[in-house]
Amino acid sequence: MNSTRQQIPRHVAIIMDGNGRWAKQHGKLKIKGHRAGTEAVQNAVKFAVENKIQSLTLYAFSSENWNRPKTEVSALMELFTWFLDNEVKKLNINNIKLTIIGDISRFKYKLQNSIKHAIDITANNTGLQLNIAANYGGRWDIAHAMVLITEKVKSGSLLPENLDEDTVNKFISLHDQPTVDLVIRTGREYRISNFLLWQIAYAEFYFIDVLWPDFDEEAFKRAIVVFNQRERRFGNTKPDNIYEE
Ligand code: IPE
Ligand code: IPE
Ligand code: MG
């Protein structure tokens, strides 16, 4: 992609939806759809590295996804463990730093270990920041920040009268990374499904019909082109209209 012509968003967040429907469409078991989804993850990460996107946040498992059939949940957990164990070397070679956002305490010991290992190994990398949202919910994120803030107030290190947006922000996931510029959702659904809530206040949204396993380099390029057609005003006036009555 010609980055001299297209402005590259600094932080892209993706709701990777449509694995189940992709499997159905291809007459396959649902888990095959999730497996195909991991290939699309590898492609998206490659694209982000090549195009120097600073942060890529991928929604892999929501706090509500536990409600799915047990067999699907455990297959997803196995796939996640496999992905981490197998990809960590490649992430490292590509200078990618991995972070997980979400409440990992609910995961099995083995998966928690794979997560910690992958985070440790890539901790000093300085290239793409790859965030995987696992057992993540935007509401959990905000509630979790509130718990941490309450602890600070209780210990006396934070005065309630000093509490403002910036304080809250410091306790929210991804606060140490560029603000989310672009949210992509694949799979023909037009909702947030409890993904980042606080972080997307002024993000641009791009919803596409493509099912996640079919999300390839071309589709990602198209999302960047559409992003470039947007005029981000952040509540301000359109620059041309400043002098108009
Ligand atoms: C998204 O694909 C992956 C996860 C939520 C883990 P889905 O499994 O939701 O696919 P559809 O929406 O049923 O097609
Ligand atoms: C959102 O997809 C969660 C992930 C992509 C991980 P869902 O398939 O769970 O969302 P809903 O149920 O259609 O809102
Ligand atoms: Mg879905």
**In testing the pocket of ligand 2, which one of 14, 30, 65 has its CB within 8 Å of the most ligand atoms?**
65
CA of 156 to the centre of ligand 3 (A): 44
CB 53 within 8 A of CB 12: yes
pLDDT for the residue 241: 60
Q: Which pLDDT score is estimated for 243?
A: 57
User: Is residue 209 domain-resident?
Assistant: yes
Output the CA 120–ligand 2 centroid distance in Å: 29
CATH number for position 195: 3.40.1180.10
How many Å lie between the centroid of ligand 1 and the Cα of residue 16?
A: 7
Note if 65 is an active site residue.
Answer: yes
CB 103 within 8 A of CB 133: no
Give all strands of the β-sheet with 55-62 in edge-to-edge order: 97-101, 129-136, 55-62, 11-15, 182-185, 204-207
Q: How far is CA 140 from CA 13, 14, 17, 32, 171, in A?
A: 18, 18, 20, 30, 12
pLDDT score recorded for residue 238:
78
Residue 36 half-sphere exposure toward CB, CA atoms < 13 A: 22
Taking the C-alpha atoms of residue 132 and residue 5, their distance in angstroms, rounded to an integer, is 29
Which residues does 41 contact at the CB level (< 8 Å), separation at least 6? 16, 58, 83
Does some domain include residue 224? yes
DSSP element (H, E) containing 204: strand 204-207
The answer to whether 173 and 140 have CB atoms below 8 angstroms apart is no
59 lines ligand 2 (CB under 6 A): yes
Q: State how many domains the chain has.
A: 1
Q: Is 17 in the active site?
A: yes
CB-based contacts of 91: which residues, under 8 Å, 6+ apart? 98, 118, 121, 122, 125, 130
The answer to whether position 168 is within a domain reads no
Q: What is the pLDDT along the chain (245 residues), one digit of tens a residue?
A: 764 589 999 999 999 999 999 999 999 999 999 999 999 999 999 999 999 999 999 999 999 999 999 999 999 999 999 999 999 999 999 999 999 999 999 999 999 999 999 999 999 999 999 999 999 999 999 999 999 999 999 999 999 999 999 999 999 999 999 999 999 999 999 999 999 999 999 999 999 999 999 999 999 999 999 999 999 999 998 766 655 55
Q: Is residue 154 part of a domain?
A: no
> DSSP secondary-structure letter at 135?
E
pLDDT of 5 reads 80
Task: Tell which residue, 105, 60, 62, 49, has the closest CA to residue 82.
Answer: 60
Give the pLDDT of residue 244: 55
Provide the token pair at 119: 């985070």
Q: Which of the following is catalytic: 19, 65, 131, 135?
A: 65
Q: Residue with the nearest Cα to atom 2 of ligand 2? A: 17
pLDDT of residue 240: 66
Q: Where do the H-state alpha helices sit in 51-172?
A: 70-93, 109-122, 138-155, 165-170
Domain holding 206, by residue range, is 11-137+179-228
- Residue 91 is assigned to a structural domain of this protein: yes
pLDDT for 242 equals 55
The answer to whether the beta carbons of residues 216 and 193 sit under 8 Å apart is no
Residue 210 covered by a domain = yes
